[in-house]
Amino acid sequence: MANVSSSTSAAGPLKLEEVLKKYFEYPLLVHTDVQILLNMQKNFKASLHRRRGSVKLNIRGCLQYEYADSLYSCPLLIQLDASYPYSAPFITVVPTSNMMIVNGHPLLTASGDVKMQYLEKWTQTHTLVEAMRHMCEAFQSSTPIYSLDHGYPPVGNSLLPDTASQTKPHHRSYVQFSLGNELNNLETTVLKPAAQTIRDIVTDLPSQYVVIVNDITAKLHSRKLEIMQAYNNDLRKYNIHNLCMIQWVPKCLEIGNTLKAQYIAKKKLQCIQRCEEDMLREIEMIDQYLSAVIEAARVIEYMQEVVVADMPRQLPPIESVVTFKSNADEQLCEAIVSEAAADSMLELLQSTLKRKQISVKRYVQYVRSICHDKFCFMKKRLSIIQSKDPLLV
């Protein structure tokens, strides 16, 4: 392994530019990305690694980020292939002797390899600085490492030696003060009224949920030793854990009641919306019908004006032009015209229903009314015909 540097010492380490030109396909792009990263992360160092005929540029350092109001320092190893930036960098979290990797972390494998979307969809336009930014944002929401020292977050050394002494004194004092205040606040606001709060919870809950609370309490007491070991024998954390587990039951009940009320309100709103949509379709149908009537009236008025203009003399009334031999003939004519009008209305209703401009309920009501009128006119017509000539029926 050979150290590389951006300095110009002839007897010292090799220049970064010289190494990149010798072993990498795109030395200018690699040098730009690496130099920007080294300028932004002062504790990062680059070195050349040769193994089995392949050459990699290793960049080691600690990525600092804040998590839970504490400063963390995560040791990283970044490996660049000779085809970088057309191949993604390989980033690994390298915990020191006082650190452990969080089990099941969404961005890390069990061996510490970083798997995030920015690296999986890597293109030649991506950069190391952007990868560090995405990683820092992800670690701030969910840290990938934790410290084996009781009460302190992990603080790695910038050069990543495998030594046991990794914690800086000023970090230790700051974190100890911060965590101490946080636990004191939790103890003041949560732990002192804990017994009274548990009694209130059990009193306010229905009987079937009291059984669940008692079951949780019994399991907590039976696993007290295991839980205490998980919290490094910190009694305050154990008490907070118990209270959170017991308060989980009423909180879930409250969430369930809220979701049920929201579901009922949603169903009511959907019913109101359907009624309003039906009313809107009926109004649109009435509007179309009235528009057609107005248009027909305009046509009739226009035709009357044309006829009057063409005929200078006054037309005789229709009673004097159309005459019936008897009152029965006039009633027969009216019945036939009414039947034809009923058939036209049924066709109009059918087309309106196909266009979904009327509800099925309204359609059935109108069809029943029109069919009843049509049946009455048909019966009247048949009775008149039968009275005139029984053989025609």
Does residue 274 contact residue 361 with C-beta atoms inside 8 Å? no
Q: How far apart are CA 234 and CA 213, in angstroms?
A: 23
Residues 361-383: pLDDT tens digits? Answer: 888 988 999 999 889 988 888 88
Would you list the domain boundaries of the chain?
2-170, 178-259, 324-393
| Count of other CB atoms within 10 angstroms of residue 216 | 15
Lowest mean pLDDT among 41-45, 232-236, 370-374: 232-236
Q: Which residues contact 325 (CB under 8 A, 6 or more apart)?
A: none
Does residue 387 contact residue 332 with C-beta atoms inside 8 Å? no
Does residue 136 contact residue 114 with C-beta atoms inside 8 Å? no
Give the burial string for 40-58 (b: 16+ CB within 10 Å, else e): ebebbbbbbeeeeeeebbb
Residue 243 pLDDT level (bands cut at 50, 70, 90) = confident
First to last CA, the chain: 116
- Two structure tokens written together for 267: 């169903």
Q: What is the pLDDT of residue 327?
A: 82
Q: What is the pLDDT of residue 113?
A: 93
Which residue has better confidence, 214 or 107? 107
Residue 253 pLDDT level (bands cut at 50, 70, 90) = confident
Q: How far apart are CA 246 and CA 196, in angstroms?
A: 12
Residues 288-345: pLDDT tens digits? Answer: 888 888 888 888 888 778 777 766 555 566 555 667 778 888 888 888 888 888 888 8
Residues 204-219: pLDDT tens digits? Answer: 566 666 777 777 777 7
- Of 3.30.1370.10, 3.20.20.70, 3.10.110.10, 3.40.47.10, the CATH number of 2-170 is 3.10.110.10
Does residue 57 contact residue 46 with C-beta atoms inside 8 Å? yes
φ, ψ dihedrals at 45, nearest 5°: -130, 145
Residues 119-139: pLDDT tens digits? Answer: 999 999 899 999 999 999 999
Query: What pTM did the predictor assign?
Result: 0.40
Residue 62 has pLDDT above 70, yes or no: yes
Q: Order of strands across the sheet with 54-67?
A: 14-15, 2-5, 45-51, 54-67, 70-80, 90-93
DSSP-based three-state secondary structure for 44: coil
Q: What is the pLDDT of residue 165?
A: 37
Instruction: Cis check for the bond before 144: say yes or no (omega within 30 of 0).
Output: no
- Two structure tokens written together for 273: 């919306």
